A and B are shown apart, each in its own frame.
Chain A
């Protein structure tokens, strides 16, 4: 069993990935053409690809696909950066100060079990279909991993380094910025990666309900118009952008790890 988890050479991994993808597309095409499922509910891969191309130029539900993607990405970035800007420093401070840990932890533990999608009714009441709703929901999804990983990173910093910093008379703000932050950086970046995934997933969920633009909104409108191909284009776009975000953050993570030695 151990041997089956050994890493394969890169070209073999790529080849196997291509085989998997082709098999999936083949199965999909077969199902669509077999007549087992109505083409109205399951268009084939070619039809979806054509629809994808069309949507890049022709607007649907108030915008082209790139316009919807841009609007989704903008909300995502705002919500995600907000979550990181609050979650990381708060997590570091909680990891350092027992007092703050004890104050925040009970509230945080209760709040993080409310799934991002469970914030939708509240967000709808507050913001309607304005930009605030999706941002609140992304924040709810992205915030906990940011905080938890920064907290863990700060908690498990080598105790000697903290003692050295105290002995050198390090004031609080510098303790956070120059000792805890760099020491916890690998853990923080791992958290940012997890929270990007969760945030992106929550966003599209939110757009299904509390938005008037964005990929999720486009999909809901397509559902109303019974354009299954458009719905599936939305799903493909969500998946592809998710992969791009993850690859970018993973590259950042690898670089940081190398720098950290």
Chain B
């Protein structure tokens, strides 16, 4: 059981900037929730609080019923800018978290090899990050997180730094991965289509100070309209049910007046 629960969470930076103002949100065990919102609305702050990089200034956050106190491998993070160790190879990057856990070498090598195989980079196991494309680097970062078999996976605009074609491929790969090996996922994005395509539920945030404005249940629609029968993302995006949800979220976001205007 590893649900994420936000209870009236507030976060201020200094005395002037209030990033979050009473966020209530529950991500159920093995559920994939995406948070969408304008840039600067505090959605990344939500993720950083669950990761334990920062502490809330009000309310509380629990994972599996326990309050978050510090970062840890039970809540693996995939960063927008990959954050791979440039002096470690692909295999060493993926193995690092397992070494920290004290996993015996034989088992570790097996797990790392399987993870590299999963992301299709077997021929690049000994390459350094700077020798890889952005898409490949982000695959490594995802494998580095998945190999820990974390309770919770936190993804902070993971495809935001990739070009459009690579992004689509990665989105399709992530869907396959997430269906095969479900985790509790909190996914931050400003891409509405990405959120609808990937998530079970989409949380829409207000402008700063951020609150959850609306929750959209995508999973029910996906199952009744049988999205999974379409392998390609563009076919899913052509479905009327997809367009309907996407437009609904778009409108909801548009209602949020830009700050200072």
Contact = CB atoms under 8 A, between A and B. Distances in A.
A110 interface: no
A164 interface: yes
B76 interface: yes
Nearest to A166: B71
B191 interface: no
Interface in A165-179: 165-171, 174, 178-179
Contact of B97 (A168, A178, A183): A168
Given A167-B51, A167-B75, A160 B83 contact: yes
Nearest to A179: B85
A60 B38 CA distance: 80
A135 to B, nearest CB: 33
Interface in B82-117: 83-88, 96-97, 99-101
Nearest to B71: A166
A157 B71 CA distance: 18
Contacts, number: 58
A169 B87 contact: no
Contacts of A160: 79, 81, 83
Given A169-B72, A169-B73, A163 B87 contact: no
A10 B82 CA distance: 40
B53 A163 contact: yes
Interface string A177-188: 011001100000
Interface residues of A, number: 19
The DSSP consensus for interface residues of chain B is loop
Contacts of B71: 163, 166-167
B86 A260 contact: yes
B72 A167 contact: yes
A186 to B, nearest CB: 11
A167 B100 contact: no
B77 interface: yes
B83 A164 contact: yes
Contacts of A179: 85
A158 interface: yes
Interface string B100-144: 110000000000000000000000000010100000000000001
A35 interface: no
B148 interface: yes
Interface in A135-169: 158, 160-161, 163-169
A261 interface: yes
Contacts of A161: 83, 85
Contacts of A261: 86, 128, 130
Interface of A: 158, 160-161, 163-171, 174, 178-179, 182-183, 260-261
10 contacts: A161-B85, A163-B51, A163-B71, A166-B52, A167-B73, A167-B75, A168-B96, A171-B100, A182-B87, A260-B87
Given A169-B72, A169-B73, A261-B128, 20 more contacts: A160-B81, A161-B85, A164-B77, A166-B53, A166-B70, A167-B51, A167-B72, A167-B73, A167-B75, A167-B77, A168-B144, A168-B148, A174-B99, A174-B100, A178-B85, A178-B96, A179-B85, A182-B87, A261-B86, A261-B130
